[in-house]
Amino acid sequence: MAMAVGSPGGGQTCEINVTPMIDVLLVLLIIFMVLTPLTPHGLEALVPLPPPPNQPPQPQDRTVVVQVLQVPSGGKPKLRINQDDIKWDDLGARLTDIFKTRAERVMFVQGDNDIEFQYVAQVIDTARGTQVVDRVGLITAKILEGQ
């Protein structure tokens, strides 16, 4: 504690008591240390990995890929699940059938280059709405090229 007992001139002194300021600083430091791990760090991304070089490709029976394909007429895009055509209305039921017996519940979504993102988002929302898909990953053109 900072305290002046007597001054040679007998008048008032102008010394700041820094003890309360250090107490406030330590309290703020503790608060920020507690809150820092609770801040979100962004979205968790999941991408498929290309096979290692000089190794034959493994069969991908477990991988579920939903493709959103552009229609030449400019209407609503077509959907495919692992090369099987499917209607938009049947997407939720089909995903439920696929994932009800699987332990690994990961799905990938691949969209054409000219597809509006709203259709990809609609596929992701439908998959999350079924509550059988734990993780949804995105496949981009660079991933398909192996980069």
**Domains in the chain, please, with CATH?**
64-145 (3.30.420.270)
Amino acid 87: pLDDT: 92
Strands ordered across the beta sheet of 106-111: 84-86, 78-81, 64-69, 106-111, 135-139
Token pair listed for 96:
């439920």
Using CB atoms within 10 A of its CB, is residue 145 exposed (0-12), middle (13-18) or buried (19+)? exposed
pLDDT digits (tens, 9 = 90+) for 23-55: 999 999 999 888 777 666 666 666 666 666 776
pLDDT digits (tens, 9 = 90+) for 76-122: 899 999 888 999 999 999 999 988 888 888 899 998 888 888 999 99
59 confidence band (pLDDT: 50, 70, 90): very low
pTM of the model: 0.58
pLDDT digits (tens, 9 = 90+) for 5-18: 655 666 787 887 87
pLDDT digits (tens, 9 = 90+) for 133-145: 888 888 877 777 7
